[in-house]
Amino acid sequence: MEEDRTVCESFQRAAQLVGQRWVPQIVWVLLDGRRRYSAVRDAIPEISDTLLSERLRELEEAGVVTRTVTPSTPVLIEYSLSERGRELAVVMDGLSTWAERWAAVGA
């Protein structure tokens, strides 16, 4: 029996979210746990501050990232993956395995 590969609305939304520029890298960095904005930026040196802020906001709105504000001096803001975001680990691990095998630089 052949599997139906029709692209459903849920798959399309997920692909659009995860396929946005820099989203996989942000999720990859946050798989290690809670990070300050500067730690995420330092882990992805090619991303601009504007785009990182935009992507973190979009991922928060999508329920993938949680933003935690700790009132202190200075205020401490940290980002982490929500349960929904942590479930992307399987996808990111698969992408990493594929990249190591097939996406070598210059290949």
- Structural domain contains residue 70: yes
Q: Could you report the per-residue pLDDT of 22-73, keeping only the tens digit for each? A: 999 999 999 999 999 999 999 999 999 999 999 999 999 999 999 999 999 9
Q: How much is the pLDDT for 19?
A: 93
**pLDDT confidence of residue 102:** 87
- Name which residue leads in pLDDT, 16 or 103: 16
What's the domain count of the chain? 1
Please provide the DSSP assignment of the chain as one string.
Answer: -PPP----HHHHHHHHHHTSTTHHHHHHHHTT--EEHHHHHHHSTTS-HHHHHHHHHHHHHTTSEEEEEE-SSSPEEEEEE-HHHHTTHHHHHHHHHHHHHH--TT-
Quickly state the pLDDT bin for 105 (edges 50, 70, 90): low
**What range defines the domain where residue 33 resides?**
9-102
Residue 27 lies in a domain: yes
Give a yes or no: residue 3 inside a domain: no
Is residue 91 assigned to a domain?
A: yes
| pLDDT averaged over every residue in the chain | 92
Q: What is the pLDDT of residue 31?
A: 96
- 53: domain CATH number? 1.10.10.10
